[in-house]
Amino acid sequence: MPMILARPLCAFALAALMAEAGLAQTAGAPAVTAPATVQAEPGPGDAGAYLAARVAAAESDYRAAGAWYSRALVGDEANPGLLDGALISAMALGSFDVAVPLAQRLLDLGAQSQPAALAILTDKAQRGEFDAILADAAAGASVNELVDGLVLAWSQLGAGKMSEALEGFDTLAATEGLEAFGLYHKALALASVGDFEGADAILSGEAGGKLRMMRRGTVAHVQILSQLERGDEAVALLDSTFGTGQDAGIDALRARLVAGETLVYDVTRNATDGMAEVFFTLATAISGEADDAYTLLYTRAATHLRPDHAEALLMSASLLGLQKQYQLASETFARIPTDDPMFFVAEIGRADALYADGKTEAALEVLQNLTRSHGDLMQVHLALGDALRRAERFAEAVPAYDAAIARIPEPQGQHWPLFYSRGMSQERLGNWPEAEADMRRALELDPDQPQVLNYLGYSFVDRGENLDEALKMIERAVAARPDSGYIIDSLAWAYFRLGRYADAVEPMEKASLLEPVDPVVTDHLGDVYWAVGRRLEAQFQWRRALSFDPAEKDATRIRRKLEAGLDAVLQAEGAEPISLTVTEGDDAN
């Protein structure tokens, strides 16, 4: 069956922020585990509030959890577990004014809590109390090995002890597994005090070897080169790292450089900014490895220290979305101002969050407004087209995709999704010639793209056209994605439509194992069983398919098959009945 392209553009944008130019977690680096927290135990207070807090926390409903933990604490204010739960909820909400007193109460009770240590550290960094941070470190305060080393070095810088700060970064750079982190932050520290030559020597790889940097690190290097009056090199760095036309923020930066503007260095203006980068660096390093709730604490700490940290805001919102906290995600996306280069990414993310929250019209309104304010961007029209297609408003989706494609002078390989998405919309509208043309154009751009091969091949099979070509397309898709239930379903269905019923059984059973609750795959399995004479099994699978909430049109057809059999349904539709190959010993009645 065709695999629908489901990829919110914000996710791609965030991937671009974190991946290709990413500071990857260095091999051999100490693992960053989930925070040491205090387990809550019911005390003499409100047991109902305690249980409600635990349920809300398990569902990542931070607002509700915070409210219930606060209520439970009224009668049990010294319960470390309740304090820790309330603290984590407050930090996840970005409410450090609430979190810090809770953290201090925890530490005063002698509890060991990484979130509490992080909250206190963040608060002191925000206040510029670097001597106090150094004193705490000397007394044994700790978050984790990586954070401790970077925090100590940035605090030395904040306290005016530059030599000690550089020694701290050098110590990290000499520690196995932490080399990249030490070098990267040393470069940022040097740039923060105006030593752009020293910073460039590190970021260019001349001192310490080549670094794989985050998008933000590359932007920092570009700003540094601009400050050194090496604008041409800055442009070349942008082009070699990002290309053109892929990132509106980068394109805007490039235009300013080409116009001769000297860029201000503002990635780390001071030690507090440096601490924000520590937390953001760690969040990107552990993203996808640690629990999303834990990673969120670091991105929230980063934005508490630097409210204009667009990348950290985007990452916070994305993490909230992954935890199905769509309202909080939407609110966090909305914090990015309209004049920020990443505003359009944030608005696309906000629309995705609204859509996931069941607010389809609100999501579409956000994107329609964005086409008016940022109509020159291909990504904006693509996002609108995708949203309309998800809402099954295919006639409106096609013009949106037209507008997106019109903004690409010469489509390249990475643009295949535009033609694929428009082709899917055309196919759903019944405009098959246009749909086929778009699918073939997508394959011209990316000949081995399994999603397109699968969709076009399946469509041919379903239409009874070009069956030999369709089978070859689907076989190529299966070779590329051997564990995709949807693609394997297409292969089995191609065999079925070609009359190769016995050949269809094994791949269809595999597809069903991979997609055990998909109504279409399960329905297809029933048809295949019917075709080889396994009628009781066919009826069982059709009943299962009905339990998986199929589309009403499909459900009606499945009920007819259960009442009269597949052959009768095919005859009523004007098709030839299947020639049964009854398996020996099977009940064909």
Could you tell me which of 257, 258, 254 has the C-alpha nearest to residue 241?
254
**pTM score of the predicted model:** 0.85
| pLDDT score for 30 | 42
Which residues contact residue 535 at a Cβ distance below 8 angstroms, ignoring those fewer than 6 apart?
Answer: 529, 565, 586, 587, 588, 589
What's the pLDDT tens digit per position in 568-583? 999 999 988 886 544 4
Work out the pLDDT band at 38, boundaries 50, 70, 90.
low
- Joined together, the tokens standing for residue 463 give 């239409």
| pLDDT score at 579 | 62
Q: In this structure, what token pair is assigned to residue 381?
A: 């029209």
Alpha-carbon distance of 284 to 302, in angstroms, equals 12
229/220 Cα distance (integer angstroms): 14
The pLDDT of residue 40 is above 60: no
Domain 47-258, CATH: 1.25.40.10
Sign of the CA dihedral 427, 464, 511, 573? positive
Rounded percentage of the chain residues whose pLDDT exceeds 90? 79
Closest of 440, 389, 446 to residue 416, by C-alpha: 446
**Residue with structure tokens 């898709």?**
477
- Does pLDDT of 4 surpass 70? no
pLDDT in tens, 306-325: 999 999 999 999 999 999 99
Q: pLDDT averaged over the chain?
A: 90
Q: How far is CA 97 from CA 66, 220, 323, 454, 511, in A?
A: 13, 31, 23, 52, 52
pLDDT for position 533: 93
The whole-number average pLDDT for the span 331-354 is 95
Q: Among residues 114, 75, 123, 76, which one has the least CA distance to residue 96?
A: 123
DSSP, collapsed to helix, strand or coil, labels residue 1 as coil
- For 429-477, write each residue's pLDDT tens digit: 999 999 999 999 999 999 999 999 999 999 998 888 998 899 999 999 9
- What are the residue ranges of CATH 1.25.40.10 in the chain? 47-258
Q: Is 440 within 8 Å of 420 (Cβ atoms)?
A: no
Are residues 282 and 185 in contact, defined by beta-carbon separation less than 8 angstroms? no
Find, among 11, 12, 10, 4, the residue nearest to 390 by Cα: 4
Tell me the per-residue pLDDT of 264-283, one tens digit each, with 9 for 90 and over: 999 999 999 999 999 999 99
Higher local confidence (pLDDT), 510 or 208: 510
Q: How high is the pLDDT of residue 585? A: 38
Encode 248-281: b = buried (16+ Cβ within 10 Å), e = exposed: bbbbebbeebeeeeebebebbeebbbbbbbbbbb
